[in-house]
Structure 1
């Protein structure tokens, strides 16, 4: 087979499954509301809330028991007539800003928002220092030999020349 065909086949083999796949939601059938409008709102809210057990997933994607409890709580609040913002505010009041996947920018969360920038700057400084030290070491001239060392080196070289000429 020719090379372009194999490349095309590889690209198709990688992209088609990605295009056909959809996110796996952990919502159990017994949690789903019969009202499709409320269920859609519940799903939208669940995508904004962090699973406190998994920490890197929304409660909509998590199988943890706490995530299930939060999904049920969101649906209960919606059925009770709360707006989306009221539901989010209620959960944030109970669990804090950390439960939001995108926490608000306020004094309590400055460290959270600034830490990636500070870490990136520190990494750049470390890389620059590494290369500067490396450059300094490669450009440095070797120390000169002392008078005694030079004399000893000359003796060794003379001895080697005499032994080599025999």
Structure 2
């Protein structure tokens, strides 16, 4: 990867051109920036969904603990 980027720099490519060539060669995942589109909704919604589920579970569990302590 480093040698690929070095060759691009030596050939006079700009940062934007290098990033575009990396995206073409390896896909958008290489940049670590997942785009928000119909193909990636699951990736964006899953962490939010899990956070809500865990929060609800913990609230219910805490409520049961308080009732049993009384």
Match for residue 22 of structure 2 among 85, 91, 111 = 91
Q: So what's the TM-score if we normalise by structure 1?
A: 0.36
| Cα 1:84–1:106 shift into 2, 3 Å | farther
Query: What are structure 1's unaligned runs of at least 5 residues?
Result: 1-69, 140-166
1:80 aligned residue:
11
Does residue 22 of structure 2 align to residue 114 of structure 1?
A: no
| Cα 1:105–1:73 shift into 2, 3 Å | same
Q: So what's the TM-score if we normalise by structure 2?
A: 0.70
Partners of 1:95 and 1:136 lie apart in 2 by 55
String of CA shifts for 1:40-69, please: whole Å, max 9, x gaps. xxxxxxxxxxxxxxxxxxxxxxxxxxxxxx
Partners of 2:14 and 2:40 lie apart in 1 by 25
1:105 aligned residue:
36
RMSD: 2.1
Match for residue 62 of structure 2 among 131, 138, 145 = 131
Query: What are structure 2's unaligned runs of at least 5 residues?
Result: none
1:22-33 to structure 2, matched below 5 A, reads: none
Larger Rg: 1
